[in-house]
C-alpha cells in the first residue's frame, strides 16, 4: 500500500511541476510536443492539437517536450524557429524554466493551508494565529543508531506513559519532564506507552550516556503537539508563513550538506531516495491523512529547491546556461549544452542508484 501511495504522491508532484513548465511555455507561444507523466513505454496517450498527452509505465518522473529546449538545427533555424524555446528572449526562457519550481512551492502552500483548514498537527508554542487544542507529548525526531531507534520508536509517536522498574512513573507529560525521567531512570530501563495512529504500543528502551553529551538519553526530541484549525483566510496566511520557513530551512540544509560533501564530510545517511521515501510514506500514512498532506508539501518544497540547483539537466542548470548566454550576449553551442545536460542526467541517475542501494541496506 505504501508503494501505491508513494507513486500517487510522486505522480501528483511531477504533474504539478511539469504543469508549470507547460503553462508557461504555452502562454509564451512556445511549441509543446508532449506532456508525459512517468517515462516510456507508454501506457496511454492522446493527441490534442499539437501536443501529445501521455501516461507512461515507469512512474519515477515525468517530462514536457518543449520545442528547442534541447536545441538542434530544426529548432534553431527551421521553419518553426519563431516558436522555439531557444529563440525566445532570455527572460521568457527563464520564466519557463522557473515555472515548475514556482508551481511546486505554490502547491506546498495550498496543501499546508488545506491542512490548517481541516486541523494540522502544530507545536503548542508555534507563536502564530489560533489556539492549539489537545496538545500531547510527541516524538519529533529519532537519532539514527540511538536506543530509541533500536527500540523501534518513530517520529509521531505520542507518549502516554513512562514507567521504570514497575514502581517509578512519569506524572507530568512535557518534554523536560520526560527528559528528566530518562536521566534519572534510563539506565534501569524504561517502558514507554505510546500511541501510533490507531495502535497502542508498549516499548522497552534502555538509556545510555553519550547519546546526548553529559547525560543519560535515548536519542529523541519531543514537543507538545496539538491540532490547530483555522478559518480560510488565516489558514492561507499561516500556510504562506510555513512555506517560506520550510523553503528557507531546506535551502540552508542542502547548502550545509553540499558544503560538507566538498570537504569530504558529507553524510549519505542524510539523503533519502525512493526506497526510503516509500518507508516514510508508510509511517506518515499510519499517523493520518493530514500528516500525509504535510509530508507531500515538504517533498514538493524539496523537489523545488533541488531543481533550482545549478547542475546540468536540472532547471537550475538550464537557468545557469541562460544567465551565461545573457552575459555573453551569445548562445552556447547546442552540442556543448546537450552534452553537458546528458552528462548531468547520467550523474543524477548514478546518484539515484547509489542512494537507492544505501536505502535498501539501511532498510534491512
In angstroms, what CA-CA distances link 287 with 118, 134, 162, 282? 15, 16, 21, 9
Q: Tell me the CATH architecture of domain 133-227.
A: Roll (2.30)
Confidence (pLDDT) at 273: 59
- Per-residue pLDDT of 325-360, as tens digits, reads 899 888 888 788 888 888 887 887 777 777 666 666
In our burial notation (b when 16+ CB lie closer than 10 A, e otherwise), range 318-349 reads bbbbbeebeeeeeebebeebeebbeebeeeee
Residue 131 DSSP label: -
Question: How confident is the prediction for the chain on average, in pLDDT?
Answer: 87
Confidence (pLDDT) at 18: 94
- Per-residue pLDDT of 290-312, as tens digits, reads 888 999 999 999 999 999 998 88
Please state, as a whole number, how many other Cβ atoms lie within 10 Å of the Cβ of residue 289. 10
In angstroms, what CA-CA distances link 143 with 33, 72, 210, 269? 47, 50, 12, 11
pLDDT band per the 50, 70, 90 thresholds, residue 4: confident
- Per-residue pLDDT of 144-184, as tens digits, reads 889 999 999 998 899 999 999 888 898 888 999 999 999 99
In the block, residue with C-alpha cell 531516495: 273
Higher-confidence position of 351 and 93 = 93
- Per-residue pLDDT of 183-222, as tens digits, reads 999 999 999 999 988 889 999 999 998 888 888 999 999 9
Tally of residues, the chain: 364
Confidence (pLDDT) at 359: 60
What mean pLDDT comes out for the span 315-330? 91
pTM for the model:
0.84
User: What does the alpha-carbon distance between residue 286 and residue 151 come to, in Å, rounded to a whole number?
Assistant: 18
Higher-confidence position of 271 and 340 = 340
User: What does the alpha-carbon distance between residue 141 and residue 219 come to, in Å, rounded to a whole number?
Assistant: 8
Helices (H), the chain: 2-27, 73-77, 90-118, 147-151, 175-185, 232-262, 274-287, 289-307, 315-328, 334-363
Confidence (pLDDT) at 101: 95
- Domain residue extents for the chain: 2-116+297-363, 133-227
Out of 18, 74, 161, 325, which one is annotated catalytic? 18
Confidence (pLDDT) at 284: 77
User: What does the alpha-carbon distance between residue 70 and residue 85 come to, in Å, rounded to a whole number?
Assistant: 9
Confidence (pLDDT) at 334: 78
Strand-pairing partners, residue 32, are 66
Confidence (pLDDT) at 1: 66
The lowest-confidence range among 9-18, 31-40, 72-81, 154-163 is 72-81
Active site residue 18: yes
Given a cut of 90, whether residue 230 has pLDDT beyond it is yes
Amino acid at each position: 500500500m505504501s508503494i501505491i501511495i508513494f507513486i500517487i504522491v510522486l505522480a501528483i508532484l511531477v504533474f504539478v511541476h511539469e504543469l508549470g513548465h507547460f503553462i508557461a511555455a504555452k502562454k509564451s507561444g512556445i511549441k509543446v510536443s508532449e506532456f508525459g507523466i512517468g517515462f516510456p513505454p507508454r501506457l496511454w496517450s492522446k493527441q490534442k492539437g499539437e501536443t501529445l498527452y501521455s501516461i507512461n509505465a515507469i512512474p519515477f518522473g515525468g517530462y514536457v517536450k518543449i520545442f528547442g529546449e534541447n536545441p538542434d538545427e530544426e529548432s534553431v533555424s527551421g521553419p518553426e524557429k519563431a516558436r522555439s524555446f531557444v529563440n525566445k528572449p532570455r527572460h521568457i526562457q527563464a520564466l519557463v524554466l522557473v515555472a515548475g519550481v514556482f508551481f511546486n512551492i505554490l502547491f506546498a502552500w495550498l496543501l499546508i493551508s488545506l491542512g490548517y483548514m481541516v486541523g494540522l498537527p502544530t507545536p503548542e508554542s508555534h507563536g502564530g494565529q489560533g489556539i492549539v487544542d489537545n496538545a500531547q507529548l510527541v516524538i519529533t525526531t529519532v537519532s539514527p543508531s540511538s536506543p530509541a531507534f533500536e527500540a523501534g520508536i518513530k517520529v509521531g509517536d505520542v507518549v502516554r506513559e513512562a514507567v521504570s522498574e514497575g514502581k517509578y512513573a512519569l506524572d507530568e507529560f512535557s518534554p523536560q519532564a520526560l527528559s528528566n525521567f530518562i536521566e534519572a531512570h534510563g539506565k534501569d530501563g524504561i517502558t514507554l506507552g505510546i500511541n501510533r495512529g490507531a495502535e497502542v504500543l508498549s516499548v522497552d528502551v534502555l538509556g545510555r550516556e553519550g547519546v546526548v553529551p553529559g547525560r543519560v538519553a535515548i536519542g529523541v526530541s519531543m514537543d507538545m503537539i496539538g491540532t490547530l484549525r483555522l478559518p480560510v483566510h488565516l489558514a492561507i496566511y499561516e500556510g504562506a508563513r510555513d512555506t517560506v520557513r520550510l523553503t528557507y530551512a531546506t535551502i540552508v540544509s542542502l547548502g550545509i550538506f553540499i558544503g560538507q560533501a566538498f570537504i569530504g564530510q558529507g553524510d549519505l545517511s542524510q539523503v533519502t531516495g525512493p526506497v526510503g521515501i516509500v518507508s516514510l510514506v508508510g509511517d506518515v500514512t499510519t499517523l493520518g491523512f493530514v500528516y500525509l498532506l504535510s509530508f507531500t508539501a515538504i517533498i514538493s518544497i524539496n523537489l523545488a529547491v533541488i531543481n533550482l540547483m545549478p547542475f546540468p539537466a536540472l532547471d537550475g542548470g538550464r537557468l545557469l546556461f541562460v544567465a551565461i548566454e545573457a552575459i555573453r550576449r551569445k548562445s552556447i553551442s547546442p552540442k556543448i549544452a546537450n552534452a553537458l545536460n546528458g552528462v548531468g542526467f547520467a550523474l543524477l541517475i548514478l546518484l539515484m542508484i547509489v542512494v537507492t542501494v544505501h536505502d535498501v541496506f539501511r532498510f534491512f
